[in-house]
Amino acid sequence: MQTTISRSLSRDGINWISLAVFSIFHLGAVAALFYFSWPAVFAAVGLYWISLSLGIGAGYHRLLTHRSFHTPRWIEYILAVCGTLALEGGPIAWVATHRIHHQFSDKPGDPHTPRDGKWWAHIIWTLVGNSTHNKTAQFARYAPDLSKDRFLVWLSTYNYVPLLVLSALLLSFGGLPFLLWGVFFRVTMGLHVTWMVNSVTHIWGRRRFPTRDDSKNNWYVALLSFGEGWHNNHHAHPTSARHGLAWYELDMSWLAIRVLKMLGLATSVQVASLN
């Protein structure tokens, strides 16, 4: 399996597409500071929650990767589309990469372990090889459940389409400030926060559970990522829809799942406990 992974997730050579895209978005994030607008900032905050909490946290991660709960197919599709707005790739590639991370967490084969370097885990792994621009078919073996769904396959192939549509809408209705804040600044912020889950929470924080990896609970990352920073909790109980297990561990993505459950739109919700 490890040989197969090394062939699929190459670490050789600069990934010029990722380097170019991330550079443009970082420049756009800096430009946003010169086009400050409270309405644009509020739009960015709302989209940040939609993309990172509903899309990545609840959708890509807890639903599609770990199947911590079940939803009607249309809810699953909405959450997946929200996930594409974070510019972290399509659902199949994201899910496959994360499943590989759990299988080899902080061991040879882990795509983004800090044991290969703090900056490697944070961003460099996305800028080399083909980890962020692999063919959907090459990831199918790690996400066979998703690869059978025609819509998720389409969304994985054309994952940039929802963000392009959103960009056009923001530019049309709010002008350049809405585009810079709602897309460039918001996406750049979200990328770094997600990468902090890969890097920071495997370096700094507290360990509640004696897992076989370096995962830690980090309140700062948890706050920025809507609960993903309770990473040691997650690695100890990967199929739990709730990551913040103690009353004081704020987990906004879990609260969204609870709302879905109350509305009858989330079933078979798995929840770990401290006992």
| Closest to 143 (Cα-Cα) out of 69, 102, 91 | 91
- pTM here is 0.93
Per the structure, the complete domain to which residue 234 belongs is given by: 2-262
- pLDDT, residue 15, reads 87
- Looking at residue 140, its pLDDT comes to 77
- Whether residue 274 lies inside any domain: the answer is no
Strand partners, 206: 217
Per-residue model confidence (pLDDT) at position 98 = 96
In tens, the pLDDT along 220-239 reads: 999 999 999 999 999 999 99
Do residues 275 and 76 lie in contact, with contact meaning Cβ atoms separated by under 8 Å? no
In this predicted structure, what is the pLDDT of residue 138? 65
Classify residue 48: in a domain, yes or no. yes
In a domain, 272, yes or no: no
Task: Please tell me the distance from the alpha carbon of residue 139 to that of residue 155, in angstroms, as a whole number.
Answer: 14
Residue 35 lies in a domain: yes
- Which residues of the chain register pLDDT less than 50? 1-8
Residue 238 lies in a domain: yes
Structural domain includes residue 269: no
Q: In whole angstroms, what is the distance from residue 247 CA to residue 234 CA?
A: 16
Domains held by the chain: number: 1
Residue 263 in tokens: 């509305």
pLDDT confidence of residue 3? 39
What span, in angstroms and rounded, lies between the C-alpha atoms of 207 and 103?
19
| Residue 267 counted as domain residue | no
Q: Which 3 state secondary structure label does DSSP give 16?
A: helix
Asked whether 180 and 31 are in contact (CB, 8 A), the reply is yes
Is 271 within the bounds of a domain? no
pLDDT, position 10: 62
61-89 pLDDT, tens per residue?
999 999 999 999 999 999 999 999 999 99
